[in-house]
């Protein structure tokens, strides 16, 4: 009986696949949180940058955001 428990305990200690999967899951979740935070914080500024590039490609005039206006409100005319 003691041998059975010893073998079972040895198998449990060697089998770390479940623990590794949990660690990778935690890392993926943390990376997702960081990406969501970065997009939320930089979203308006990024939108203005892409609008400026679009204006340049279409040979139009880019009108930047007025002081005090919300980010992401630049126009292309």
Q: Taking residues 2-9, what's their average pLDDT?
A: 67
Angle at 36 between CA 35 and CA 41, to 5 degrees: 100
* pTM of the entire predicted model: 0.47
Does residue 22 or residue 9 have the better pLDDT?
22
Number of domains observed in the structure of the chain? 1
- Tens digit of each residue's pLDDT (9 = 90 or more) over 13-46: 666 666 788 889 999 999 999 999 988 888 777 8
Domain that holds residue 34: 2-76
Band of residue 63 on the pLDDT scale cut at 50, 70, 90: confident
Q: What is the pLDDT of residue 28?
A: 96
* Residue 27 near residue 56 (C-beta atoms within 8 A): no
């Amino acid at each position: 009986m003691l041998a059975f428990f010893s073998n079972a305990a040895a198998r449990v200690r060697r089998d770390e696949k479940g623990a590794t999967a949990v660690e990778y899951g935690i890392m993926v979740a943390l990376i997702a949180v960081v990406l969501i935070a970065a997009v939320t914080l930089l979203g308006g500024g990024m939108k203005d940058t892409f609008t400026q590039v679009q204006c340049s490609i279409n040979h139009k005039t880019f009108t930047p955001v007025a002081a005090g206006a919300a980010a992401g409100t630049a126009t292309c005319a």
